[in-house]
Amino acid sequence: MYLGSAGFGWHMERGIHILRLLAAGVFDKYPKLKIVIGHMGELLPFQLERIAKFAGRGAFEERKWGLMDMWDNNIWVTTAGMFSLNSLACLLRNTKAERMLNSVDYPLSTNEEGLEFVEEMKQSGMVTKEGLERIAWRNAEELLGVKAR
């Protein structure tokens, strides 16, 4: 049961939903739409290059707004409890730090775990100081119009 939900199934379903929005022309009609997806991109970063390779076929053929246009301009990705440097490495390969947000997945993870992951990111050297600030709080301030204390 857990694999069909929080272990895997939830993420697969959310990723497919984002692709369906693109295929349906939502981003052609609303090019300024902003969507925040969780869990290190709901499996999409791992498959992004493959999806992009085939995105010129079928329902995607008619779209002005392509997969990478959508990914770079309309999508923000949270960590949402996926506190894994391996997953982060994949995400960083195809997603700008300006489009990433650190977050927890309460009640499945805690604020303390989220803070530990920020420290892990810092120690790993995988992101610059500016990138870490963006992921940890600055992107949320800009996107959501809130101020971090």
- CATH number, domain of 132, equals 3.20.20.140
Q: Is residue 103 part of a domain?
A: yes
Task: Give the C-alpha separation, 12 to 4, whole Å.
Answer: 9
Q: What is the dihedral of CA 60, 61, 64, 69, to 10 degrees?
A: 50
pLDDT tens by residue, 5-30: 666 677 788 999 999 998 888 999 99
Q: Which of 28, 69, 72, 105 is catalytic?
A: 105
Q: Is residue 28 part of a domain?
A: yes
Q: Is residue 2 part of a domain?
A: no
The predicted structure's pLDDT at residue 22: 87
The predicted structure's pLDDT at residue 11: 78
Q: Is residue 123 part of a domain?
A: yes
Confidence of residue 90 (pLDDT cuts 50, 70, 90): very high
pLDDT tens by residue, 69-83: 889 999 999 999 899
Q: Is residue 149 part of a domain?
A: no
Does residue 57 register a pLDDT over 70? no
Ordered strands of the 100-101 beta sheet: 35-37, 75-78, 100-101
- Structural domains in the chain (count): 1
Amino acid at site 100:
M
Q: Is residue 3 part of a domain?
A: no
Q: Is residue 4 part of a domain?
A: no
Active site residue 72: no
Q: Is residue 135 part of a domain?
A: yes
Secondary structure class of 38 (helix, strand, coil): coil
Task: Give the C-alpha separation, 79 to 11, whole Å.
Answer: 12
CA dihedral sign of residues 31, 36, 37, 40: positive
The whole domain housing 33 covers 9-144
Q: Is 138 exposed, middle or buried (0-12, 13-18, 19+ CB in 10 A)?
A: middle
Total residues belonging to the chain: 149
